[in-house]
Amino acid sequence: MDSLIIKDVKANIEKIKKQIPCSYAVDYDITGDFKEGYITLDKKNMIYKISIDGIEPYHEDKNLTLKKKTGLKSIIKISEIKEIDPLSVAEFRVGKRKLKEVLTFEKAERTSIKITKKQEYSSKIDKSSMELINKIGADGIKIPLESATRLLELKEKKGIKYYNKVLDRVVSEIKKRQVDPYEAVGIIAAQSIGEPGTQMTMRTFHFAGVREVNVTLGLPRLIEIVDARRTPSTPTMTIFLKPEFEKDEEVTSRVVKEIENTSIIDICDIETDVEDMTLTIKPIKERLKERMVVLPDIVDALGREKGITVLPEESKGRVIIKPQQDSYKRLYATQERLKTLTIKGINGIKRAISRKQNDGRWIIYTQGSNLREVLEIDEVDSSRTFTNDIVEIGQVLGIEAARNAILNEAKRTLEEQGLEVDLRHLMLVADMMSFEGSIRAVGRQGISGKKNSVLARAAFEITTKHLLRAGLMGESDSLAGVAENIIVGQPITLGTGAIHLVYKRENTEKQVQ
């Protein structure tokens, strides 16, 4: 059922609260049967929920609560109003279109969410595959479902003798590759990634054959990943459309124009008149056509800005801007602010291009990243779309998604250079960077800088600072790790160094008897 969504101001809400139940007169025509409504103050989030007893055309009545003094057209009979937890406007739809903002009022239906208990994964597994997994698991060995399925297929095709031979080989190979107790997995992983890293190039790459879109590759990209940079040097997104849209060129083109951020400086020249204390914005026709922007779009965007007076001159195809405070400093500040003013598109995405694959599907690549807003576009397939900004993935999709992003980005960066690293070493790095629930860098601001051992921290960087602080705070070092034991000259507690032999002497008197 449709709900009525209203954009209003705090002062009017207070008037409604004082006079509830009340008849609220508004300045727009409303028709339809509504039982409930929502009120937003910022166009994006619903803050109040109202119960509606009916809607009728405006007529004069001394008991009315007025939204404004003139231009009133409808009366909403409100029986109850209550404050709610902020509810995003994206949860409402007008027909098939997802609502993006509320300028005056909307008739929209709230998207219903059904929560059901997920069926246990094991219940979907074939019985014979599950039996094989459990049989091998009894020896402390785990195999993936895909391997169990392939082994059973071999049993049917090649016979029991061949199946047993392959099964013994699989178990033997897995046992060989299991980590021994007290093995220095961290050091081995560091060497496994660090040694190929010395062969990596330091370059960027023109992405998808377009000059404006560059992607950092090689060693600089690997450093970005392990340093958990808040913003990559070249943030990019790969956007997939839903199956019903991915072969439609017209829809793809529309999504590209919707995504690509267009600011004033992209399509206009800005001239400063110091004598009259004005700015003249002159649109460039070719760029307007390329970005599908018209002059009223520019005027609307400027009209939302505070502290300026907008004077459109449509006959001359330009807009005059005058700061409300006359000063050279204010004029310059206004010019710099308006350069980056967004006219249309998504903030953070400077460029978007689409490419047709061999199978006829379209994929969109971007320069810049804004995962949260891109996933809100109806045509975008949220299950496949990704960004190379790992921190942003963690903020939008959660820590598990960020952990997978670290693994996939590091793997892809190495493979692009023709380097092979065992996946388990990359998994160890991804786990260490994410197991505390947030993305931590490997360096002194993260994992290495927060070790319990004073000597290990001092050995990494800024030795004097760590030792002085430890002395002042009275810290102790249990010498449990690798670096600290090497510093003091004793065996490390890994491998054979983790084992202590004790000689137990037998009673000599019993031996004599």
DSSP 32-90: S--SEEEEESSSSEEEEEEEEEEEEE----TTEEESSSS---EEEEEEEEEEEEEEEGG
Report whether 102 contacts 43 (CB < 8 A): yes
Q: Are the beta carbons of 439 and 402 closer than 8 angstroms?
A: yes
* Residues sharing a CB contact under 8 Å with residue 63, sequence separation 6 or more, in sequence order: 22, 23
Amino acid identity, residue 252? T
Instruction: Report the 10 Å Cβ neighbour count for 451.
Output: 15
Q: Are 354 and 233 in contact (CB under 8 A)?
A: no
Looking at the DSSP assignment, which residues form a beta bridge with residue 263? Answer: 342
From CA 347, how far away is CA 351, in angstroms rounded? 11
Looking at residue 401, its pLDDT comes to: 92
Give the pLDDT confidence score for residue 501 in this predicted structure: 82
User: Which residue has tokens 């969410």?
Assistant: 113
Measured CA to CA, the distance from residue 99 to residue 91 in angstroms comes to 8
Which two structure tokens, joined as six digits, stand for 320? 């005059």
Task: Please give the Cα distance from 76 to 154 (Å, whole number).
Answer: 72
Q: In what order do the strands lie in the sheet with 64-66?
A: 64-66, 22-26, 74-88, 45-57, 36-40, 2-7, 105-110, 92-94, 97-98
Rounded to the nearest 10 degrees, the angle between the axes of helix 399-416 and helix 390-397 is: 150
Q: Torsion angle, CA of 376/380/381/385, rounded to 10 degrees? A: -90
Residue type, 497: G
What's the rounded Cα separation, in Å, for the pair 301 and 293?
Answer: 11
Per-residue confidence (pLDDT) for residue 407, from 0 to 100? 93
Report mean pLDDT in 10-residue bins for the chain, 513 residues: 85 88 87 87 87 88 84 88 86 76 83 66 76 84 86 88 89 84 84 84 58 72 85 88 87 85 82 80 80 78 79 79 79 82 81 85 89 87 90 90 92 86 90 88 73 79 81 83 83 80 72 53
What is the CA angle 64-68-71, rounded to 5? 95
Residue 40 contacts residue 80 (beta carbons within 8 Å): no
- Yes or no: say if 225 and 409 are a contact pair by the CB < 8 Å rule: yes
Bridge partners (DSSP) of residue 214 are 206
Question: Could you tell me the CA-to-CA distances from 179 to 141, 470, 495 in Å, in that order?
Answer: 12, 35, 11
Chain-centre distance for alpha carbon 332: 35
Listed residue (62, 63, 58) closest to 29, CA to CA: 58
- Looking at residue 408, what is its pLDDT? 92
Q: How far apart are CA 390 and CA 26, in angstroms?
A: 46
3-state helix, strand, coil in the chain (%, to 5): 40, 20, 40
362 touches 354 (CB < 8 A): yes
Give the C-alpha distances (Å, rounded to integers) separating 486 from 17, 194, 479, 494, 501: 72, 21, 9, 12, 21
pLDDT at residue 428, rounded to an integer? 92
